[in-house]
């Protein structure tokens, strides 16, 4: 899958084909990318070492969970057609549609391979992409995570991933909320409350909540105070 804004690097298809052959036709091949900017600058993925350290052999997400630290998007991977068809993976409507595709795919894959090579240029527009627009469509992220957890409900063998995905969901939603250009200001409190409700409802029994995600166990006023205090500390520094 290739977004219309992005481009493959020279030799990418040959390198991907060689790695697929070398690794024995894995379910998923994850490759690297670089951000390319409108002023001509280029910056490689900051987590490139995750691919370098994956090694030459195939693995699963359980065997090498760091692979899930990479950007959870569809376009930095190649998928075996038979694997996708057999599992029935599809894209749902709405913003953040990569989320309920990528997590089920990566957790279900029996053989994942890594390619430590920049194969795609991820174009960064001056005005940003569609996810940078101010809109209530960002509320779609809640439905997308509902789909992720519905997938877990139908695959009890993946139940051990619930705490990880619960934390990831909280962090992802808080990241959207913190971006100044994502949500209309009048909708931010509602977005926080919906996220907090979802976070509480989907919390696995006995799960420990710490770090930034712990803000979702409090209220909107407490979240705003923490954000304001953080900005004051940054200004003082």
pLDDT tens, 20-76? 999 999 999 999 999 998 888 889 999 999 999 999 999 999 999 999 999 999 999
pLDDT given at position 129 = 60
CATH code of 1-128, in short, is: 3.90.550.10
pLDDT given at position 168 = 96
Question: CA–CA separation, 193 vs 219, rounded Å?
Answer: 8
pLDDT given at position 199 = 97
Beta strand residue intervals within the chain, DSSP E: 7-8, 28-37, 42-44, 77-79, 112-124
Q: How many residues does the chain have?
A: 237
Judged by average pLDDT, the poorest of 30-34, 120-124, 210-214, 232-236 is 232-236
Residue-by-residue DSSP string for 52-83: HTT-SS-B-TTT-GGGGGS---STTEEE-HHH
Whole-model pTM: value is 0.90
Question: CA–CA separation, 171 vs 193, rounded Å?
Answer: 14
Residue 103's pLDDT band (boundaries 50, 70, 90)? Answer: very high
CATH 3.90.550.10 domain extents, the chain:
1-128
Mean pLDDT of the chain, nearest integer: 93
CB-count exposure of residue 161 (10 Å: 0-12, 13-18, 19+): buried
Specify the 3-state DSSP secondary structure of 125.
coil
Average pLDDT over residues 1-11: 91
């Amino acid at each position: 899958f290739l977004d219309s804004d992005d481009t493959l690097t020279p030799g990418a298809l040959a390198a991907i084909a060689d790695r697929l052959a070398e690794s024995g036709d894995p379910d998923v091949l994850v490759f690297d990318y670089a951000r390319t900017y409108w002023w001509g600058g280029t910056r490689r993925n900051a987590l490139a070492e995750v691919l370098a350290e994956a090694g030459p052999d195939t693995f699963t997400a359980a065997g090498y969970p760091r692979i899930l630290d990479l950007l959870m998007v569809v376009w930095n991977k190649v998928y075996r057609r038979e694997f996708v068809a057999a599992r029935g993976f599809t894209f749902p409507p709405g913003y953040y549609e990569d989320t309920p595709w990528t997590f089920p795919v990566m957790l279900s894959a029996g053989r994942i391979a890594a390619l430590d090579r920049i194969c795609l240029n991820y174009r960064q527009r001056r005005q940003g992409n569609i996810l940078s627009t101010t809109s209530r469509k960002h509320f779609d992220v809640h439905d997308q995570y509902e789909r992720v957890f519905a997938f877990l409900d139908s695959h009890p063998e993946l139940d051990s991933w619930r705490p990880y995905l619960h934390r990831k969901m909280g962090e992802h939603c808080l990241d959207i909320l913190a971006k100044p250009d994502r949500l209309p200001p009048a909708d931010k409190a509602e977005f926080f409350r919906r996220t907090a409700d979802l976070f509480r409802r989907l919390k696995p029994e006995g799960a420990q909540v710490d770090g930034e995600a712990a803000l979702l166990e409090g209220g909107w006023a407490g979240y705003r105070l923490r954000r304001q205090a953080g900005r004051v500390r940054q200004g003082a520094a």
